[in-house]
Amino acid sequence: MKRTIERVLDVLATGTHVLGCVAIAAMMLHVSGDVLLKYLANRPIEGTLEFVSTYYMVSVVFLPLAYVTWKEGHVEVEIFTQTLPARAQHLIQVFASVISALYCGLLAWRGGVNAVRATKVGEVWTSALIDIPVWPTRWLFPLGCGLAGAMFLLVALRHLTQARTAAGDVVSAPKRLKD
């Protein structure tokens, strides 16, 4: 059962990561096209700022969260824990992952409430010439945070398993560069 859940979440995390990468490419093309048309034809693409702000940036930030979490790619400061025994390091990772999962769950819940509200009213941003529907992008935040929270729980389980089998030896401090 755990392996099935792990595989499903891995596929979802990889899929949302790919969508985030596609959003980066689309944003690059959209902004480049806007700049070229603005300076070459004096006809910028209407709504570029709004699309970048509501569609691309939200996708780029929140869709890859689960993938980064699963690969343990978040920034960690290990100045106080790097010389602890392996078991202690894994247990600290379990604690941090559970707290992070709870926080992501809270963010996903509140984001979901806001997404429902935005969907009900059909939230739009008005630019000079067009109305841009933004309510669909309100769902990306709770999706990204919810998947990241689930991944944090899997990371906690991974470290809990490793803590059970880890030796109590102190992990050696990183080698210092010579002056």
* Rounded Cα distance, 152 and 113, in Å: 22
Q: What is the pLDDT of residues 15-67, one digit of tens each?
A: 999 999 999 999 999 999 999 999 999 999 988 988 999 999 999 999 999 99
Q: CB atoms < 10 A from the CB of 68, how many?
A: 15
123-164 residue pLDDT tens: 998 877 788 899 999 999 999 999 999 999 999 999 999 998
* Spatial CA neighbour of 124 closest among 139, 112, 138: 138
Coil, helix or strand at residue 77:
coil
Secondary structure of residue 59 in the 3-state scheme: helix
Count CA within 13 A, CB hemisphere, residue 156: 15
pLDDT of residue 3: 85
What's the pTM?
0.85
CA distance 88 to 7: 28
Give me the residues paired with residue 124 across strands.
Answer: 133
pLDDT of residue 166: 77
Hey, how many other C-beta atoms are within 10 angstroms of the C-beta on 156?
20
Structure tokens, 93: 């990772």
Residue 173 predicted with pLDDT over 60: no
